[in-house]
Homo-oligomer: A and B are copies of this chain.
């Protein structure tokens, strides 16, 4: 039985409490939250949980085995660092931290303390994402060529992070979960429509040496809600529409191939469309799956699906996207050893 303390009872906190309540082999002991009216709400619904006003009452509580941190991202590093230092297992809400440096420090500390550090990328526990990974892994799509994601709506403008840090972690975590190749660079552009220098619309491209490309379109300023992702291979392609109540994943038996037409000195491309298949998906609640994975991995000393390493890779891409936006869309290299040897820019600049 793992004793859990949860720091932060804001928008997402009640969902975490409810699911750790329902998870196996664990017990929610206490919840820390500075706002008294939120604590009163907690006590009304969950009278058996102790509400405390200070995170320290959880971090330094010897009865607590694992700490769940659901506070603004700027506070993640400090809270998680203290908790890990105390030997607690830690689950961080997404995005993991404000910088790769912070994320790496936490990962090192967790390894040193031999405790579990995990990030809550909930989408990895949905039936839809699991099905997409299975389809990629089984090579049913052939060689995957692109991922194109649109996540827009008229939404809460955050005051601390831009729209990519708010919305893209979902999609980047899915990208990292289903694609093994590591990217070498990103480009991003965006715009601020409020006077606080926090982008409310942004576009991100992630580049890979194999020719795979990923693109993310995020906005808090759309009149319609769109949650759509395309994953294209040369054999089959997936349309993932998260707003569809039952037909979230459609697999198109659609592809293309090319050959050289030597005579006319050009490339001939053939495309093909066939049947569409809509697989039935498991419908268990994703957040409960995440909570169970956390508890199970503590007990079994294993790495979870939504590991701290995946969480770090998400932060790495977000951090680079910030740099690219500030440099007007210039390419920002993530891993220079992965950059294709003859880059396109060399071709141009020579």
Contact = CB atoms under 8 A, between A and B. Distances in A.
Interface of A: 47, 145-146, 148, 150, 152, 154-155, 157, 159, 185, 187, 189-196, 198, 201, 203, 205, 207, 211, 213, 215, 217, 219, 221-225, 230, 232, 234, 237-239, 243, 245, 247, 250, 252-254, 256, 258, 260, 266-269, 271, 273-280, 323-331, 343-345, 347-349
List the number of copies, as a whole number: 4
Contacts of A198: 267
A278 to B, nearest CB: 4
Contacts of A247: 276
A118 to B, nearest CB: 28
A231 B78 CA distance: 41
Contact of A222 (B237, B266, B280, B343): B237
A194 B275 contact: no
Contacts of A190: 213
Nearest to A196: B267
A223 B230 contact: yes
B191 A211 contact: yes
23 contacts: A145-B193, A146-B201, A148-B222, A157-B269, A159-B268, A187-B187, A189-B205, A192-B211, A194-B267, A194-B269, A195-B267, A203-B215, A207-B328, A223-B232, A250-B278, A275-B278, A277-B278, A326-B347, A326-B348, A327-B349, A328-B331, A329-B330, A329-B331
A134 to B, nearest CB: 14
A266 B198 CA distance: 11
Given A187-B328, A194-B269, A328-B331, 6 more contacts: A195-B258, A196-B266, A221-B256, A223-B232, A275-B278, A326-B345
Given A150-B150, A159-B267, A203-B203, A213 B194 contact: no
Nearest to A247: B276
Nearest to A208: B191
Contacts of A267: 157, 159, 194-196, 198
